[in-house]
Structure 1
Amino acid sequence: MYKQNCTLSNIQSNGNLVSKKSCLSKATLLTLLATGITACATEPKQPDVVVVPTPQATVTVTATPQVTTTVVVTPTPQPTTIVQTQPITDVLVITNANKQTLVNRPVQFTNVNVQSVVGDRTFWVGSSNAQRVFVVLAPNLDAGSAENKVVVKAGQTLDLAGVLKLVPSVKQAQQQWKGLTATEAQGLKNQVIYLEASQIRFKPSTQ
């Protein structure tokens, strides 16, 4: 109602410019207010903002396999010194030495005298009872056809070759060497070593 009165009044008084502008300003203000209300009423409701966390990228770290180095240590071969042991050629070397140190030493007698015969395979050689060596023929010299050919007698001259070995116990000596008495076996213990002859050669008699 107010708007209509104002408009009519403004039309009727065309000369009154201030009143007309004032009335237009009020009408414009009302129009803007009505438009704002309408806009507010019709403006759609904004949805709630949901913040979704951005998934973090997964980084997989694979350890680089270590290189295994195998070190092979080869020992430096030591030079082997082979000592050539010269054979013993004299009975006196055996009777005058520390007999324990002569075990497994090779022997090579030439023109040695047989002092006495104890059994089929055993006898003494040397120059006297104080300087002599007990000799045992190896099994190969007392078997088969050799048994009849190898017959040792006192007074013979022989060439012998073999190895020095430790004298066994009294019981073992009697078991191994037939014809050896207990007294003779006991006496061998003082000799410590004996000659196992693997080679024998009979020298011609000088008589």
Structure 2
Amino acid sequence: MLELFAAATPNGYKISIALAELDLPYQLRLLDLKKNEQKQPWFLAINPNGRIPALVDHDHDDFAVFESGAILIYLAEKTGKLLPREPKARSQTLQWLMFQMAGIGPMQGQAHHFRHYAPQRVPYGIERYTKETARLYGVLNERLGRSKYLGCNELTIADIAVWPWIASHARAGQDLNQFPALKRWHDELAMRPAFQKGRQMLAAR
């Protein structure tokens, strides 16, 4: 049995969507981030960084995996799905996964912070991270103008990693109508039953 520790955030949605796409049973444990439950000693034993999500595979000696990208790779390799075996397609998928981990997530996360959570309004921070998020959206838009999916010609963990962030585009000050190929991709994935189920699993709690 898999046990997922998560919350209703883009990084949490990545894993609940992947588990739904893979049709894997799991036990969900939602953490209350406002109460800093993710900083409690019991959770730090699972993820020393004290962030969600984390996954424990109880069928493999209670093996713990943290960092959302690492969890996606673990699940893909465990099942043989959502990560191509052909070397070039596999590499492209991992490249776009890392693009999310190193670019979209950190930059859009900062845009969210300065636009909604900073105790004082900081115009420089708002402008910098909103513009950088828009630039990264442009990179995605260019890729998706040439490819149906990010990694290759089929759905992969790269798409699952990026989509929850694009789904929260408005909070980062972005208009998807300015990125037509990205909007096409976003809207198509939003209609997939597993994407809907994955979001509902966290958002409805």
> Given the two structures, how large is their TM-score scaled by the length of structure 1?
0.22
Greater share of strand:
1
Higher RCO structure (Cα 8 Å, ≥6 apart)? 2
> Given the two structures, how large is their TM-score scaled by the length of structure 2?
0.22
Greater share of helix:
2
